[in-house]
Structure formats: structure tokens, C-alpha cells
Amino acid sequence: MWDWYHYNPNGFAYSNLVIDDALMGWRIRPNLDDFFKGKKFRSNSDGLRADREFPLIKPEKRLRIAVVGRSYSMGAGVANGEVWTDRLQQQFDRDNRSIEMLNFSVSGHSLMQSIANLRHRVINYDPDWIILTVLHGELEKTMLPVQPLSERRRGIWKQWRHYLYRFSLVYHLFRDGGYQLQQFLPKQWHPDSIVMLSENSESYGWNALNTLAQWLNQQGKKFFWFTPRQVFENRTFAEVMEQHFVLKNFTQSRTITFIDTLPILYNQSFWYHSSPLLNNHPDESLHQRYADIVYQQLLPHLNRLMVSKTQSHAE
């Protein structure tokens, strides 16, 4: 039987692929062997999207890289093994590098949920490097209090206005204009509801990232910021460059390494799957491009780390 929750375009937080979490709202259900957006979806015993287990205690002489974010990094719309983190792991394995990628990303998480994920869960695995994937729009919003799963899944007949808005053909054909429909929706029914703060709302996400960067620096963790999708649509080149400058300037003035996608992805035409009604996320070809970008920009850091270790052994 067709399962709406498995195949709807945006409803990961409504599906039986998640469980409630007191700190993050929801996270991936452990030990999954299922489908999402028509693609095979598996998780390990701790709810990471992975085909293997990872011990909490990090193996000796191994660099552990944790990735935290939302659907673009979780791999909504691609199968296990096709996610950019998996592709990156495959490249490290071909290089015979002792590196392991741990993907903690959860579809639908806001920036604040990702930070909660990092502070209360990811850190327990003692990663050396952390890659936080942040979309530019997330820096100026935060989520409303998250409903329990039982409330989120009350069904189309109970939340018909929500589904008419969020999953309709009209919504996907007229996405920008569709946001005008929000005035007719109870906010607690809307998975992307936002609370704009009354004071300094535009700096809310920036301040949260600044605090996070300071905390990770105290923990001795190297912090990378990866923006898999910058906002290019309906913007002039000058506007895109201004946004890019703001992102780079913010990271360069702090202990954050910016993984730059703009020179490679600007004006590219392969953002999404060809069928937006089924999936509005990057396909496997773009995930491969992500992996290539991250790999090339991590290489200098890996080489410096290798030189540093060699010098330490020599001493």
C-alpha cells in the first residue's frame, strides 16, 4: 500500500522513520531498513544514517569527522552509499587514509536543533573535526517548540489545511507565493514555522554560531562550515557575491573554516531531482559534487595534520 509518510515530498518529521527526542525534537529511528522519497534508507543502532556501527570510543590513530545538519546532508532523496558523506568516506578509503565519517544529520532540523544535536549527542563520539551544514536562510530563524510525533502525525483528515499547503501541486509550482498561505494555517501545524525574535532577530543565528564556535574551540575541535546550497534564485550576481562575502567574513573572523561552494555551484542547473512533486532535494550527481568539493578543501588541512604528526614522531 502507498505510504504517504514515506514518499511525501517534505514530511520526514511526520514519518515513522523518526522517534521523538527530548533535546532535538526528533531524530532518526535506530536500525531502519526502509525507504524515504523512493530511496533505500538504513540506519545503525544509534540512529545514524549508516550501514555500520561506530563505537563511542574513537579508535586509535584515526581521524573522526562528524557531519551535522539537515536533509541536504542526511541525504533525502538518495540511497545509502550515495550521500556526499558516504562518497567522501569512499574517497578516503581509496586514499588509504585512516578517517571515518559519521553523519548525524536529521532532515527538517533547524539550526538550533542541529546545535542541540552537536552539543548533546555528537560530542559524545569525540570527533576531531566537525562539519556543520547550514543554509543561509537558517541564520535568521528558529523553530517553534516541537510537537510530539503523535501530534505531528494526526493524519491528512485532521490537518487538511497543512497538507493542502505544504504538499500540494500549487505549493511546488508557486513556492515563493505559496508562503502567503501561511496566514491561514495554525503555526503549530506548520513544520517550518519560525519565530522572528523581537530584538536583533537578524543576528540570532549568527550569535548562536559564534557561541558554538567558541565552545568547540574550548573543546579542541576543528570547526568547518559547509553551505551546500546558497541562495541563488531571483538574485543578481552582485547580491549573491554580497551574501558570499558576509559568509566568508563571518567565518574568517572566528575559528571556523568555510568550505566554499560558490565558485563551483553558482549557476549550475542540477540542484534538484527532475520530479519536484516526489523530491525537491539534490540527486546523487550533486551529492558527488559536494563530496568532491569538500574533499578538495579538506586536503590542505589533512596534509598539514600529517606533517604535524610526522614532526611530533621525529621529536
Is residue 186 assigned to a domain?
no
User: Nearest 5°: phi and psi at 275?
Assistant: -115, 90
Q: Residue 238 falls within a domain, yes or no?
A: yes
> Tell me, what's the pLDDT at 231?
52
Provide the residue range defining the domain that includes 287: 4-143+194-314
Q: How many domains does the chain have?
A: 1
What is the pTM for the complete model shown? 0.79
The upper half-sphere exposure of residue 189, i.e. CA atoms within 13 Å in the direction of its Cβ, equals: 19
CATH of residue 17: 3.40.50.1110
- Picking from 133, 116, 145, 154, the residue whose alpha carbon sits closest to that of residue 70 is 133
Q: Are 71 and 11 in contact (CB under 8 A)?
A: no
Which alpha helices (DSSP H) does 121-203 contain, by range? 149-152, 160-166, 169-173, 175-178
Q: Give residue 169's pLDDT.
A: 45
- Which segments of the chain have a pLDDT < 50? 1-10, 142-145, 156-158, 160-200, 270-277
In DSSP terms, which residues pair with 258 in a beta bridge? 225
Q: Is residue 30 part of a domain?
A: yes
Q: Is residue 167 part of a domain?
A: no
Residue 15 lies in a domain: yes
Does residue 174 sit within a domain? Answer: no
Q: What is the pLDDT of residues 55-97, one digit of tens each?
A: 999 999 999 999 999 988 999 889 999 999 999 999 999 999 9
pLDDT of 124: 97
The model's pLDDT over 149-198, given as tens digits with 9 standing for 90+, comes to 555 555 544 454 444 444 444 444 444 444 444 444 334 333 333 333 33
Cell of 155: 493524519
The pLDDT value given to residue 41? 94
In a domain, 36, yes or no: yes
Q: What is the pLDDT of residue 37?
A: 82
- Looking at the domain assignment, is residue 176 inside a domain? no
CA dihedral 137, 146, 78, 170 (to 10 degrees): -70
What pLDDT was estimated at residue 268? 57
